[in-house]
Structure 1
Amino acid sequence: MESRTQKRTREVPSYNEKPKVNPFLWFIDQFIRFRYIIGVLFLIIIIALNLNGSSIGSWDKIVSERSDDKKSDVIFGENREVRSDEWMVQTPFYFSQAESDYPVVNKQYGKEGQNMIIAYNSPVKDLTVIGKPFNWGFFFLGKERGLSFYWGFKIISMLLLSFELVMILTKRNKYLSLLGSFWITFSPSIQWWFMQHVGDLMFFTLAIMVASYYFIAKHENVLMRLFMMALIVINGIGFVLVLYPAHQVPLVYLILFWLFGTLIHFRKELVLDIWDLPIIIGGLGIIGFVLFHFYSTSKDAIDATLNTIYPGHREAEGGGRPQSDFFLFLTNWKIPFDNFNFHGTNNGEVASYFNFLPLTVLLSPFIFFSKKGREEKYMGAILGLFCLFIFGWTYFGYSHGIAKVLMLTYVTSTRSLVTLGFGAVLLSLWMINFIWEYTKIPWWIKLIFLGLIMIMATHSVTSSIMGLYFNNFEIFMTLVVFALIMFALLFKLKKFFILAMTILILVSGISVNPIVHGTGAIDKKTLAEEIVKIKKEDPNALWLSEDNLYNFTPALGVKTINSVRFYPDMKLWHKIDPKHKNEKYYNRYAHVRAFIDKGKTDFRLDRPDNFTVNLNFTDCKKLGIKYVISNRPLEDYNALNYAQFEKLYGPDKDKWTIYRLTFTSDEAQAEADVDIAPIGGTNNYQEIPQPAPAEDGYIN
């Protein structure tokens, strides 16, 4: 038998002997310990090196000729053409703001201009910018490095916020929290929509959840309460101003569930004091004041947006999602490397959160009846109830009356699936820590649960469009890896699980957006430089850009008739459509493609968010268009003796040409000339330019 002295000797290391330290774990510990300092250093490096994650290099396929002779600015990864909302819309919006000194209403868009708070919360010199911290860099760093600040600040802050939230969920399990920070931030759902509503709303939700928790948990510290309320104010304003109810409504429920559960958990320790009332009322008052300011300055734009045909007053019914949709995350590893284009969908639409929601449901009796970890169960209950609530809407749907009261009619089941995935990730992280720390489940039950989940996963893959996306070998390997990860989770093979999940997460998410140097994909184009040169000489002129070039010119600070509109420019369209016969085409959120044509002006709806207008010469004159960019030889129209196209630049290697548009004084004479001597097919002139395209070439 071992003596007491021997026990003490074994348990307590000698002062002369240093305990062995795993160098890898030591490095991880130091990384976690100094995470905020490391985050600031990485942000400085990103800005100094002028790096960003934008896919603006996709413009190279539309405008390729550069003045610096570079082929591409991409350092790592590839441009994602499918993310046109980012590179074709949002990033040009931000650049347009920089060129116009960040106005609330940017007059470079059409006749009336466009409200840029509504337009993807672009950077504006206005009170509302309080709620968009990742835009602050534009004001003191300029356009290029402002974009670097945007990407760097947003991704680093999301990593830090995710870490703090998972520390709360896992009772400060720092290694699982580190995994969770990457798991959330690099989830394909966030990365494929990083610069749009999903990335914004998940960021704000994480911040509000962390801040509200610590406001209550650290209630005795007045300075902590003030700091947390400041975070709630900033992110609360930002959350509201995203203006995308399909995600906002379910996330509001998540925040309310979280706040209610936290208050219940700390109900015994929480004692209100003299500081609570001024801090809470002051914080909510600031939020209310900023939102009132936004409404009063943007009321017309808000009303115009709400009165559009698309998206307008859509009412969702809920339900209808097949079982396979809840396993779409099995495609995550492949979609960064191969396009998913079945049944009208794409990579961004199928990008999902990898989660263990079905397994959590099966394990719930063991968690609920566990005698250990009672103080931690409230977290699981909060997240479980939220997931159950959103799952019910996504899979079954609720009656119209109930849905109306709960505001779920704003939430399509496709969008609620994304929010459900986010909640499922949080619940999965909580569940993993709980079963590792507190539960003992017989091995044979674990194997049964594993088998049931694998049957569901196999059926989901083979009976859905995933079966078309994967070949047989990929199906087999995907299911094997999924089974191994669940096996490691259930049998507490912690190191293997964390390593496997880290690899899977990084493969699925870290390569979605490219690492790019600078903004040369727009600024360094010879076409762009010529546009800027003309703009300096004639700053107030109105431009038209044909084909898919429509949102290129606004990025250069040029006043443009056609671009991307969040709400219609009624002043512009009513000038050529005084009887409003074509309002069904342009009264919508829309990518506006335009062409100049000798025939009658007509509109064509290409998609719910995309229409084409063919403008005749007379309407071009009415609108006051002075410069046209086209890849068609518009100078051939000069022979018609009315619209005169003077070539100022081009054609370049992509056939883009800049024309100055003028008109002869006698329109009637021009029409007579057409009747007397129609052109085309003669030796004196080239062929008349090809007609405006009949088929939509818009990049999804």
Structure 2
Amino acid sequence: MIEFYNRYKKIAWSVLIIIGAPLLVESYFLIIEAVISPNDLFKSDFYHSFFVLIRLKRLIILFLLAVLGTGLFNRFGKETIFRYLYQYRYRLGALFLFGCVLFEIHGSSVYYWENYFQGSKHFETLIGISRSIRSDEWAVNTPMMISQYFNGAAPFPYFSETIRGALTDVFIIYGQPVLNIVEIFRPFHWGYLLLSPAKGLSFFWIGRILGLFFVSFELAMMLGKENKRLAVIYGLLVTWAPIVQWWFAVNGLVEMLILGQLAMIMVDRYFKTRRYGLRFLYALIFLICAGGYVLTFYPAWQIPLAYVFLALLIGIVYENRENIALNWKDLAIIAGLTLAFVCAMGYILVMSYDTILLVMDTVYPGARFETGGGQLYRYFLYPGNLFFVTSRELSFANTCELATFFDFFPAGIILALWVLVIEKKRDPYLILFSISFFILSAFCLVSWPHWLASISLLSHAQPSRVFLAIGFLNLLLLIRALTLIETAFPKWVKGGVAIVTALVISVGSMIAYQGYLDVKMFVLVLLILTFVFYLILSWRKIKMQEIMLGITILIVFVSGMFINPIVNGLDVILDQPLIEMIKETAEISDALWIVDSEAGAGYPLNNLPIMAGAATINSTNVYPNLDRWRLLDPDRSEEEVYNRYAHITINLSNRDEETRFILDSADLITIRLNTRDLEKLEVGYVLSQRDLSGFSNEDVSFIPLKNANGFTIYQLKYAIN
């Protein structure tokens, strides 16, 4: 009877999962894609409209995955499946990467470009939506990458002739793939050098997702004493953290987390082996990680994260103190690789020295000096991140700036202090993580004296950016504390602490979000946090660890996994008639281009021609071309406007008015350019959505050449003086 009941129960659960899971997941995808709203789920006619709105092919794939997954679990059992997943994780990861690259799968919001090509066919994402707010990815970084393939002189130059319409260092700023030995420090660019743009982009996206998960998993295995459940939880919470996914393709954040963690793993493994072939390999990987970390060139995150990695490094050295026995072989390895590292960094410094000086001397971003303070509310932001993927508007900030790690604060620091103070375990990792946590928190909470901010180097990082490292530390504190804690808390203590802590965080989140969280969101957050905090306090029970893993998967699925869309290919750009038209024109002549716009519509159109290899003056200037703009501003009266990183809108004018520069925002300027100044800039072609024929005068003639997708190319002919 019992056997029959268990068999019936298994069948019932299988049927429920096979039918219910795909429908729930498809409903969530439709909410992300704004096809339905969350409130529709509670309407009586929802199911009628749902079966009209679903994407049938996707639903069929979800059903097949549910059938496959359920069948495997029923046939082999979860323990066997998890054992094989762990044993063959890298082979499966490589196979997954190969499949994604083959089908050109990536997470870029590049499909948003469809909105700018009139008459374009519709390109549909596989899952999710292209997000306009990630314009620094799809409108700047990705177009610059594509431009490297079609640079006029040769593909993948260190100094591009396409971006800015002048020699531009594309290696050190907004680092792009270059065909140079120093690209060894950027392994996720290697796909670009070997593959087509779409496949290279796929390698870049999927490779970094897998890389971040695997190195996070391995670091957690090291800190968590081989607890695989804990390692998977940490890997998921880092890889699909909202802050990681909202900033996934720019500013080098993913690279910092991958390279920083991998470097620490290499140090630990170096000390744990006596085989010098392996020691050389680990040291070489450490060198590549160190170089790649330096070359992310974004101090606002590099410096606070360096506090975390320094704590890890000291802890690893201390933990391996009995294994540190260096001889001449070690010294030879360290000295040789250090010399190679210094030579490589010296070469880059020589190549990019002028660029670095130019950037440091700009008005924006320039050389910042921050003293900290004012970030208390950020400790309470992570619950609201649950809703960013499905909701569109925040009244006081954008989702990228409010994205955080889902770190379950204050669980990590409280449990760490419990282990250190109450259980009296002098764990070096917990001590060092706690010190870093309190130092960085102090900078985020109160303003420091200038001298202290300066010597700490945190003066180079905005406190809002420093908070990233605090969230990361919260996760490290949590996994280390859960590994060491021995106290078995009574149920009433666990329940009471969980409820009170969840209530404090939920109320704090309501206040921090200034009305963004409504009552339903508040109740949902309160329930989830209460449950999670209870599970954390019950961690010693294996069943609670399994439930915590399930809750973590649900949290990352909702809050981070589909921030970026899942799409394939770059046909939305490369198959447009306009791109082909620009490419054909640029191959005939290497004359400079500008993109003309009006009513502030210049960005992102200013980056359109570079994707076809056309050298474009007003493509995003990652650093200013001062000599060029001074031709229009000989007395330098407007240098504060154009001496910056800038998206540049050019509005042509043939009226009797002087050319002038207008600052629209910190990184956006408009140039009201009189046509008589076009010759000063040596402009040969203008791309415009408006009719410029009437702009011809005795100085310059606008000759329409071709038109496509709502744009016309004009060739300029200047009067002979």
What is the TM-score with the length of structure 2 in the denominator?
0.84
Alpha-carbon distance, 1:192 to partner: 0.9
Alpha-carbon distance, 1:23 to partner: 0.7
**Match of residue 187 from structure 2:** 133
- The separation in 2 between residues aligned to 1:286 and 1:468, in whole angstroms, is 55
Contact 1:568 1:588 in 2 (8 A): yes
Q: How does 1:182-193 map to 2 (within 5 A)?
A: 182-193=236-247
Alpha-carbon distance, 1:38 to partner: 0.6
Segments of 5+ residues of structure 1 without an aligned counterpart are 1-19, 667-700
- The separation in 2 between residues aligned to 1:23 and 1:412, in whole angstroms, is 49
- The separation in 1 between residues aligned to 2:188 and 2:374, in whole angstroms, is 37
Compared with structure 1, are the counterparts of its residues 145 and 363 closer, same or farther at alpha carbon in structure 2 (3 Å cutoff)? closer
1:200 paired to 2:255 = yes
- The separation in 1 between residues aligned to 2:714 and 2:129, in whole angstroms, is 34
The one-letter code sitting in structure 1 at the alignment partner of 2:444 is T
Paired positions, count: 633
Q: How does 1:290-309 map to 2 (within 5 A)?
A: 290-309=344-363
1:450 paired to 2:498 = yes
Deviation string for 1:474-507 (max 9, x for gaps)? 1111221111111122123222211111111122
1:423 paired to 2:479 = no
**Match of residue 656 from structure 1:** 711
Contact 2:165 2:593 in 1 (8 A): no
Alpha-carbon distance, 1:293 to partner: 0.5
Match of 1:143 among 182, 189, 197: 197
Alpha-carbon distance, 1:665 to partner: 4.7
- The separation in 1 between residues aligned to 2:348 and 2:388, in whole angstroms, is 39
**Match of residue 329 from structure 1:** 382
Q: How does 1:243-262 map to 2 (within 5 A)?
A: 243-262=297-316
Alpha-carbon distance, 1:64 to partner: 4.1
Compared with structure 1, are the counterparts of its residues 581 and 430 closer, same or farther at alpha carbon in structure 2 (3 Å cutoff)? same
Alpha-carbon distance, 1:325 to partner: 1.2
Alpha-carbon distance, 1:369 to partner: 4.7
1:476 paired to 2:523 = yes
Contact 2:169 2:352 in 1 (8 A): yes
Alpha-carbon distance, 1:340 to partner: 4.0
The one-letter code sitting in structure 1 at the alignment partner of 2:318 is I
Contact 1:219 1:270 in 2 (8 A): no
Task: Look up the SS of the partner of 1:463 in the other structure.
Answer: helix
Contact 1:630 1:656 in 2 (8 A): yes
**Structure (1 or 2) with the larger CA radius of gyration:** 1
- The separation in 2 between residues aligned to 1:336 and 1:274, in whole angstroms, is 55
Match of 2:609 among 532, 553, 566: 553
- The separation in 2 between residues aligned to 1:584 and 1:446, in whole angstroms, is 58
**Match of residue 387 from structure 1:** 437
The one-letter code sitting in structure 1 at the alignment partner of 2:700 is A
Match of 2:141 among 78, 86, 90: 90
Match of 1:644 among 675, 678, 701: 701
1:224 paired to 2:278 = yes
Contact 1:191 1:513 in 2 (8 A): yes
Compared with structure 1, are the counterparts of its residues 597 and 122 closer, same or farther at alpha carbon in structure 2 (3 Å cutoff)? same
Q: How does 1:35-46 map to 2 (within 5 A)?
A: 35-46=89-100
Alpha-carbon distance, 1:642 to partner: 4.2
The one-letter code sitting in structure 2 at the alignment partner of 1:212 is V
Deviation string for 1:344-370 (max 9, x for gaps)? x21111111011331233334431256
Compared with structure 1, are the counterparts of its residues 620 and 456 closer, same or farther at alpha carbon in structure 2 (3 Å cutoff)? same
Match of 1:400 among 450, 461, 471: 450
Alpha-carbon distance, 1:268 to partner: 2.2
Contact 1:58 1:81 in 2 (8 A): yes
Task: Look up the SS of the partner of 2:635 in the other structure.
Answer: coil
- The separation in 2 between residues aligned to 1:442 and 1:23, in whole angstroms, is 33
The one-letter code sitting in structure 2 at the alignment partner of 1:335 is F
Deviation string for 1:402-436 (max 9, x for gaps)? 1111111001110001121112122222223333x
Contact 2:624 2:642 in 1 (8 A): yes
- The separation in 1 between residues aligned to 2:516 and 2:263, in whole angstroms, is 38
**Match of residue 682 from structure 2:** 624
Deviation string for 1:627-659 (max 9, x for gaps)? 111122211223x5543222223364xx32222
- The separation in 2 between residues aligned to 1:196 and 1:604, in whole angstroms, is 27
Match of 2:553 among 476, 497, 502: 502
Segments of 5+ residues of structure 2 without an aligned counterpart are 1-73
Q: How does 1:298-697 map to 2 (within 5 A)?
A: 298-322=352-376, 324-343=377-396, 345-369=397-421, 374=425, 377-435=427-485, 438-464=486-512, 466-492=513-539, 493-546=544-597, 547-548=602-603, 549-599=605-655, 600-638=658-696, 640-650=697-707, 652=709, 655-665=710-720
The one-letter code sitting in structure 2 at the alignment partner of 1:597 is S
Deviation string for 1:431-481 (max 9, x for gaps)? 23333xx222344433443244224213312222x2422221111112211
- The separation in 2 between residues aligned to 1:195 and 1:29, in whole angstroms, is 33
User: Quick one: higher RCO (CA 8 Å, sep 6+), 1 or 2?
Assistant: 1
- The separation in 1 between residues aligned to 2:108 and 2:157, in whole angstroms, is 23
Deviation string for 1:208-242 (max 9, x for gaps)? 122122222x1423222222112111111111111
Contact 1:129 1:135 in 2 (8 A): yes
Compared with structure 1, are the counterparts of its residues 259 and 587 closer, same or farther at alpha carbon in structure 2 (3 Å cutoff)? same
Task: Look up the SS of the partner of 1:313 in the other structure.
Answer: coil
Q: CA RMSD in A?
A: 2.0
- The separation in 2 between residues aligned to 1:510 and 1:85, in whole angstroms, is 20
Contact 1:545 1:562 in 2 (8 A): no
Compared with structure 1, are the counterparts of its residues 545 and 276 closer, same or farther at alpha carbon in structure 2 (3 Å cutoff)? farther
Compared with structure 1, are the counterparts of its residues 270 and 651 closer, same or farther at alpha carbon in structure 2 (3 Å cutoff)? closer
Task: Look up the SS of the partner of 1:158 in the other structure.
Answer: helix
Deviation string for 1:304-343 (max 9, x for gaps)? 1110011112211111112x31121112221112124322
- The separation in 1 between residues aligned to 2:702 and 2:288, in whole angstroms, is 51
Q: How does 1:270-289 map to 2 (within 5 A)?
A: 270-289=324-343
Task: Look up the SS of the partner of 1:439 in the other structure.
Answer: coil
- The separation in 1 between residues aligned to 2:82 and 2:447, in whole angstroms, is 45
Contact 1:319 1:396 in 2 (8 A): yes
- The separation in 2 between residues aligned to 1:78 and 1:98, in whole angstroms, is 27
Contact 1:112 1:571 in 2 (8 A): no
- The separation in 1 between residues aligned to 2:434 and 2:347, in whole angstroms, is 37
Contact 1:111 1:571 in 2 (8 A): no
Identity of aligned residues (%): 27
Alpha-carbon distance, 1:103 to partner: 0.9
Contact 1:357 1:428 in 2 (8 A): no
Task: Look up the SS of the partner of 2:387 in the other structure.
Answer: coil
- The separation in 2 between residues aligned to 1:35 and 1:308, in whole angstroms, is 46
The one-letter code sitting in structure 2 at the alignment partner of 1:409 is S
Contact 1:159 1:182 in 2 (8 A): yes
Alpha-carbon distance, 1:585 to partner: 0.9
- The separation in 2 between residues aligned to 1:592 and 1:417, in whole angstroms, is 31
The one-letter code sitting in structure 1 at the alignment partner of 2:266 is A
- The separation in 2 between residues aligned to 1:497 and 1:112, in whole angstroms, is 54
The one-letter code sitting in structure 2 at the alignment partner of 1:224 is L
Deviation string for 1:242-269 (max 9, x for gaps)? 1111111112222221111111122123
- The separation in 2 between residues aligned to 1:366 and 1:254, in whole angstroms, is 21
Compared with structure 1, are the counterparts of its residues 545 and 202 closer, same or farther at alpha carbon in structure 2 (3 Å cutoff)? farther
Task: Look up the SS of the partner of 2:364 in the other structure.
Answer: coil
Compared with structure 1, are the counterparts of its residues 321 and 44 closer, same or farther at alpha carbon in structure 2 (3 Å cutoff)? same
Using the TM superposition, name which of 584-593 and 382-391 deviates more. 382-391
The one-letter code sitting in structure 2 at the alignment partner of 1:555 is M
The one-letter code sitting in structure 2 at the alignment partner of 1:356 is F
